[in-house]
Amino acid sequence: MLKPQTGPTREVVNLDGVWRFAVDDRSAQAPWTADLGGTLDVAVPASYNDQFIDPAIRNHVGWVWYQRNVDVPRSWTGGRIMVRFDAATHEGRVYVDDTFVGEHIGGYTPFEFDVTDLVERGARFRLTVGVNNELTEHTVPPGHIFELADGRRKQQYHHDFFNYAGLARSVMLLHVPDLRVTDVTVVTEVDGADGLVGVDVNTSAAGTVRLALRDESGAVVAEGEGASTQLRVPEARLWQAGAAYLYELDVVVLHPETGDVDDTYTVNVGIRTVEVRGTQFLLNGEPFYFTGFGKHEDTAVRGKGHDNAYLVHDFQLMDWVGANSFRTSHYPYAEEVLDYADRHGIIVIDETSAVGFNLGVAGGMSQRNPPPTFSPETLGDRTRETHAQHLRELIARDKNHPSVVMWCIANEPAGQEDGAREYFEPLTTLSRELDPTRPVTYTAWLGAHSGNDQIADLFDVIGINRYFGWYIDLGDLVAAEEKLRADIEGWIERYQRPVFMMEYGADTMAGLHAIDAAPWSEEYQKAYLEMHHRVFDDYPEFVGEHVWNFADFRTGAGLHRVGGNKKGIFTRDRQPKAAAHSLRERWTGLGGQKPGTAGR
């Protein structure tokens, strides 16, 4: 799905701001047929939860309502008018005045509806959006809703971050031409010194497609015609980690009879290749070693609300600490984040919102007598269909970002359980059908290891999340090191594929110091990471290290969660803990090479 843009043939009106808000305690009524009334306002984009003081709103389970008036510019003649939501978490229903226009399920991918016939140019309409935060056995991520004796509804979920909801990304009104570009797919290859840019264009109706690729100086370096074309770029500048280079591709659609320009849409193109060969991950044909983090979209008050100041600052911090990459744990991030990564040469592992696919674990802790994860009553065909739809939408949205080098299908599924293979095989197949150019990965949880795993061979890169020295052998880094080595060696021996530590980390209270490096102290986090790094450097099959987590983040209530998850290298307000400095020493200047291997 194309990101909205303003250009010679298109216009975007941003609808962010302060909207009217109501919590649905009157589901029998139709709140969209009138002004919401009441006194509540809500900021967009931002999760609604932490904007309010009232716990009943923060922890509400069910529908909430957003509403504002929208003026349609009188100057918008012809063409189509659309409302566009970058995300509604987890389900959105849209109404124009009294009319229902459509709904979307899935909290982290965009959707838009054509409202041309419902609105008047030069007039105002009432835009109302119902947003639902419920997670059930059939949603992705999954959850379960309880009804308490006093009638309150409680949301349980199996993942370790707060279930923030609402309109956390931008809302827009779009004006697009009738004959327009509806999709563009770019695939790049390298041929000697030249770059090859394959372009496939879909249009809303028949038209002539013209392409022009410009370099950063604006000079046209390749041109073509036709909906499916390959452009050759002589002496191409490659898009590299840490040294991004972006061409701009203008896709122009001409009217089939008049030859007039009906639409122009511009896509950023980074020419680069990605490949898994043997136990290596190759970027532009060279072995690449990932340093960085699993992140979250998480800040005070905004919750998961996208914020450009945090975007810039987080990338500054990643650069400062020497991170060359991150994973969009545990859901697709705002598109602005990927655009920024494209521009700054930061590598992204792009993850679906499939987290908590392990009914034996809640917030990192094992439960007694858990139900099977994969079964018709728990996560079955219905969940998988939703999961597949999420994957389709993720790939459709992010396929043209050079920064995105792998799709991560799920975080910590119960890969050791029966039914896991049947569940995941169709999804890895689907991913490769939709995008044959990008490797597929997932992350294995601590309870799935080379001795009991049933799914790792479905993936190109084996991602593992390991907490030896934290959930296992807390405080005993000697025992932890032994288990970590055995674990890594097991994966390498059984699968002979690249192994990637996608999560390792220790909760750390900023400011807590201990001469004996006791758990929760800044000293322990440092020692824990150093032990891991010593181990990683011994295995050539090891292709990356992503510390859990970039920053402290909010979770649901939990005995192990003191104001949230504290495994951040930075605090929630982005101040460094001691480990940030030692990571910086290890990571700076590596240039994508594995520590200790430079010049080998």
Distance CA 89, CA 163 (A): 9
DSSP letter (8 states) at residue 374: B
Smaller CB separation from ligand BDP, 567 or 577: 567
Site for ligand BDP in 301-360 (CB under 6 A): 330
Respond yes or no: is residue 503 known to be catalytic.
yes
Q: How far is CA 409 from CA 295, 452, 534, 589, in A?
A: 16, 20, 29, 31
Which backbone phi and psi does 458 adopt, to 5 degrees? -75, -10
Distance CA 431, CA 329 (A): 18
Smaller CB separation from ligand BDP, 68 or 330: 330
Distance CA 480, CA 43 (A): 46
x/- letters, 372..411, toward ligand BDP (CB under 6 A): ---------------------------------------x
Give the nearest distance from C-beta 567 to ligand BDP in angstroms: 5
DSSP letter (8 states) at residue 456: G
Give the nearest distance from C-beta 566 to ligand BDP in angstroms: 9
Provide the token pair at 124.
């105002």
For residue 142, cis peptide bond before it (omega within 30 degrees of 0): no
Smaller CB separation from ligand BDP, 247 or 470: 470
Task: Tell me if residue 264 falls in helix, strand or coil.
Answer: strand
Site for ligand BDP in 77-96 (CB under 6 A): none
Yes or no: say if 432 and 440 are a contact pair by the CB < 8 Å rule.
yes
Q: Which residues contact 28 (CB under 8 A, 6 or more apart)?
A: none
Yes or no: say if 592 and 286 are a contact pair by the CB < 8 Å rule.
yes
Position closest to ligand BDP via CB: 364
Using alpha carbons only, what angle is made at residue 380 by residues 374 and 381, rounded to the nearest 5 degrees?
Answer: 145
Smaller CB separation from ligand BDP, 110 or 356: 356
Binding residue for ligand BDP (CB under 6 A) from 31, 270, 364, 592? 364
Give burial (CB, 10 Å; 0-12/13-18/19+) of 354. Answer: buried
DSSP letter (8 states) at residue 562: S
Yes or no: say if 454 and 417 are a contact pair by the CB < 8 Å rule.
yes
Smaller CB separation from ligand BDP, 68 or 567: 567
Annotated catalytic residue, options 91, 393, 503, 523:
503
Smaller CB separation from ligand BDP, 290 or 548: 548
Q: Which amino acid is at 129?
A: V
DSSP letter (8 states) at residue 485: H
Site for ligand BDP in 50-79 (CB under 6 A): none
Site for ligand BDP in 209-238 (CB under 6 A): none
**How many residues are there in the chain?**
600
Task: Tell me if residue 427 falls in helix, strand or coil.
Answer: helix
Smaller CB separation from ligand BDP, 240 or 465: 465
x/- letters, 144..183, toward ligand BDP (CB under 6 A): ----------------x-----------------------
Give the nearest distance from C-beta 502 to ligand BDP in angstroms: 8
Binding residue for ligand BDP (CB under 6 A) from 132, 170, 203, 465? 465
x/- letters, 478..507, toward ligand BDP (CB under 6 A): -------------------------x----
Yes or no: say if 484 and 527 are a contact pair by the CB < 8 Å rule.
no
Give the nearest distance from C-beta 163 to ligand BDP in angstroms: 13
Check binding of 298 to ligand BDP (CB under 6 A): no
Respond yes or no: is residue 11 known to be catalytic.
no
Residue 240: Cβ within 10 Å count: 19
Q: How far is CA 561 from CA 329, 524, 545, 565, in A?
A: 19, 18, 24, 6
Site for ligand BDP in 510-549 (CB under 6 A): 548
Annotated catalytic residue, options 412, 417, 522, 523:
412
Give the nearest distance from C-beta 468 to ligand BDP in angstroms: 13
What is the C-alpha R_g of the chain? Answer: 24
**Closest Cα to residue 399, out of 375, 360, 434, 347?**
434
Give the nearest distance from C-beta 548 to ligand BDP in angstroms: 6
Smaller CB separation from ligand BDP, 32 or 524: 524
Give the nearest distance from C-beta 471 to ligand BDP in angstroms: 7
Distance CA 315, CA 293 (A): 12
Smaller CB separation from ligand BDP, 93 or 296: 296
Give the nearest distance from C-beta 439 to ligand BDP in angstroms: 20
Distance CA 434, CA 104 (A): 21
Site for ligand BDP in 545-584 (CB under 6 A): 548, 565, 567
Smaller CB separation from ligand BDP, 213 or 420: 420
Provide the token pair at 136.
């059930």
DSSP letter (8 states) at residue 276: E
CA 125 to chain centre: 33
Provide the token pair at 114.
């054509």
Check binding of 412 to ligand BDP (CB under 6 A): yes
Give the nearest distance from C-beta 314 to ligand BDP in angstroms: 18
| Interacting residues with ligand BDP (CB under 6 A) | 160, 330, 364, 411-412, 445, 465, 503, 548, 565, 567
Residues assigned a catalytic role:
412, 503
